[in-house]
């Protein structure tokens, strides 16, 4: 087993947890801390990717390109990456981010829709930046399907393809199966992105490494959508215990977590009822805030909505469906009463 390349996604995934309110000053402080600690890749964008500051996804307090520019200007060694979701972002935003100076783009789609990434992965390579394929909601498909989708991304020029546990629904066996399948099918790097809805973000990340993963994601203090992600500082500590030297300074990461990120957070990231129900039902983590608003609007338990969304296999991009589902449940409840 080898030490993975770590990507910290605090300034992207973490945006979900603080309602997209990062400021330029916060970005500079967090990027500076991660860079000094030796984190090689730092992801910065709206939580749902470039151009996602909308009424559907949630408006950013500060324009994301201002945040990206602040990150690029601050990082001395680290590569700045952004997330890109086809249909939310366009080629224009990808070109602009590359002009500002990002070094990598992570092209994210539902795990059966790799074919829509072709033009963006090819464009990224034309622009001279790293292209990463992000297979979201990977728990919904068997390993062999993910491998076929990953092969498409590789054929378009991707440098790495990620198994993404968007709902925090996978257990270690499922992670091993999926990562192993991609390692066998591809000649490029394989990555793994965890969420912690079942309390398995660190365990699943280690399982991914055991299966051969080359790249792993984390967020400082687990700041991320839903129940958060694998805490970067805990991940590095665990890897150190396994004699896998990432070259990242754990002490600096712990200070960054305690002194900079913790004060930004509205509260600790916990596996509460809503987060556990989301992971158990296999519902996309960024749906949580929308589900809570819908539950309040229609006097429902968020768990009811989560269970129904899980049954209907809702995927990223279907946030507007949440209100429809909640309304249907409320009507049924009223009739029953």
139 is catalytic: no
- 10 contacts: CB under 8 Å, gap ≥ 6: 30, 34, 42, 219, 220, 221, 223, 224, 232, 261
Mean pLDDT of 16-22: 94
Mean pLDDT of 134-156: 97
Q: Is 324 annotated as a binding residue?
A: no
Mean pLDDT of 294-323: 76
Q: Is 46 annotated as a binding residue?
A: no
Q: Is residue 317 predicted with pLDDT exceeding 50? A: yes
What was the pLDDT predicted at 320? Answer: 67
Q: Is 221 annotated as a binding residue?
A: no
Q: Is residue 148 predicted with pLDDT exceeding 60? A: yes
Q: Is residue 232 predicted with pLDDT exceeding 50? A: yes
Under a CB-based contact definition with an 8 Å cutoff, are residues 53 and 291 in contact? no
Q: Is 110 annotated as a binding residue?
A: no
Q: Averaging pLDDT over each range in 189-193, 285-289, 292-296, 314-318, which range is the top one?
A: 189-193
Q: Is residue 20 predicted with pLDDT exceeding 90? A: yes
What confidence tier does 189 reach under pLDDT thresholds 50, 70, 90? very high
Q: Is residue 204 predicted with pLDDT exceeding 50? A: yes
Q: Is residue 335 predicted with pLDDT exceeding 70? A: no
Among left, alpha and beta (phi > 0; psi -120 to 50; other), residue 314 is: beta
Which domains does the chain carry?
5-264 (3.20.20.70), 273-336 (1.10.8.60)
The catalytic position among 16, 46, 139, 290 is: 16
What was the pLDDT predicted at 274? Answer: 83
Q: Is 293 annotated as a binding residue?
A: no
- Tens digits of residue pLDDT in 67-126: 999 999 999 999 999 999 999 999 999 999 999 999 999 999 999 999 999 999 999 999
Q: Is 280 annotated as a binding residue?
A: no
């Amino acid at each position: 087993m080898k030490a993975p390349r770590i990507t910290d996604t605090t300034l992207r995934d973490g945006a979900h947890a603080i309602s997209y309110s990062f400021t330029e000053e916060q970005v500079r402080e967090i990027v500076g801390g991660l860079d000094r600690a030796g984190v090689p890749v730092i992801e910065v964008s709206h939580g749902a990717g470039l151009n996602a500051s909308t009424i559907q996804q949630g408006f950013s307090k500060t324009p994301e390109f201002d945040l990206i520019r602040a990150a690029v200007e601050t990082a001395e060694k680290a590569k700045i990456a952004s997330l890109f979701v086809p249909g939310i972002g366009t080629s224009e935003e990808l070109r602009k981010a590359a002009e500002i100076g990002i070094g990598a783009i992570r092209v994210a789609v539902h795990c059966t829709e790799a074919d829509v990434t072709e033009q963006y992965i090819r464009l990224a390579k034309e622009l001279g930046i790293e292209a990463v394929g992000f297979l979201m909601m990977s728990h919904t498909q068997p390993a062999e399907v993910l491998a076929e989708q990953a092969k498409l991304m590789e054929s378009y020029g991707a440098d790495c393809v990620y198994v993404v546990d968007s709902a925090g629904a996978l257990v270690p066996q499922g992670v091993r199966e999926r990562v192993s399948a991609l390692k066998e099918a591809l000649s490029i790097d394989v990555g793994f992105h965890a969420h912690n809805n079942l309390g398995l973000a660190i365990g699943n990340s280690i399982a991914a490494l055991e299966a051969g993963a080359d790249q792993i994601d984390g967020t400082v203090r687990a700041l991320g959508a839903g129940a958060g992600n694998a805490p970067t500082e805990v991940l590095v500590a665990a890897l150190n215990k396994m004699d896998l030297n990432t070259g990242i300074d754990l002490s600096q990461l712990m200070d960054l977590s305690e002194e900079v990120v913790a004060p930004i957070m509205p509260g600790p990231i916990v596996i509460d009822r809503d987060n556990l129900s989301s992971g158990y039902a296999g519902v996309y983590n960024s749906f949580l805030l929308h589900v809570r608003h819908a539950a309040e609007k229609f006097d429902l338990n968020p768990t009811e909505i989560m269970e129904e969304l899980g049954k209907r296999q809702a995927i990223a991009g279907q946030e507007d469906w949440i209100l429809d589902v909640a309304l249907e449940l409320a009507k049924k409840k009223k009739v029953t009463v």
